[in-house]
């Protein structure tokens, strides 16, 4: 989507502090971190949020979860929270699905 900030990051048209990338996902640091470690796990396909996913996304969703598990081990971030805001009423601001990974001094009040 041309007006989507995360699609622009995926396309390389906007910078990000990248943690990981493969053919299905990109993981980068949140620009406004709410914890010592605050990553965003973002599918390369433009999916709005979990309200919009279909059966065809099953393997992508599993891949996102496994990517978090593997990266958390690799980076030794310890205990962490995975959070996803789905819809404006739940605090979603960027309407390209992303899962927050937070570890260390997590501020749970302002996500």
Which of Zn ion, ligand AMP, none does 32 bind, CB closer than 5 to 8 A by kind?
A: ligand AMP
Report the C-alpha gap between 37 and 75 in whole angstroms: 10
Residues engaged in binding ligand AMP (CB under 6 A): 5, 16, 28, 30-32, 40, 85, 91-94
The two tokens of residue 20 are 């990981």
From residue 88, alpha-carbon distances to 41, 67, 82, 108 in Å are 19, 26, 18, 18
Active site residue 46: no
Q: Supply the minimum distance, in Å, between the C-beta of residue 50 and ligand AMP.
A: 12
Q: Supply the minimum distance, in Å, between the C-beta of residue 12 and ligand AMP.
A: 13
Q: What DSSP string runs through 75-107? A: HT--S-EEE---SGGGT--S-S--EEEEESS--
The residue among 8 and 81 lying less far from Zn ion, judged by its C-beta, is 8
Q: Supply the minimum distance, in Å, between the C-beta of residue 23 and ligand AMP.
A: 21
For the annotated catalytic residues, the residue numbers are: 98
């Amino acid at each position: 989507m041309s007006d989507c900030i995360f699609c622009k990051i995926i396309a390389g048209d906007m910078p990000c502090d990248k943690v990981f990338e493969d053919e299905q996902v990109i993981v980068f640091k949140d620009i406004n971190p709410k914890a010592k470690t605050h990553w965003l796990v973002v599918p390369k396909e433009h999916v709005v949020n979990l309200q919009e996913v279909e059966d065809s996304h099953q393997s992508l969703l599993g891949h996102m979860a496994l990517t978090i598990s593997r990266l958390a081990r690799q980076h030794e971030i310890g205990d962490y929270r995975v959070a996803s805001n789905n819809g404006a009423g739940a605090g979603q601001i960027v309407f390209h699905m992303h899962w927050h990974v937070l570890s260390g001094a997590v501020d749970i009040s302002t996500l």
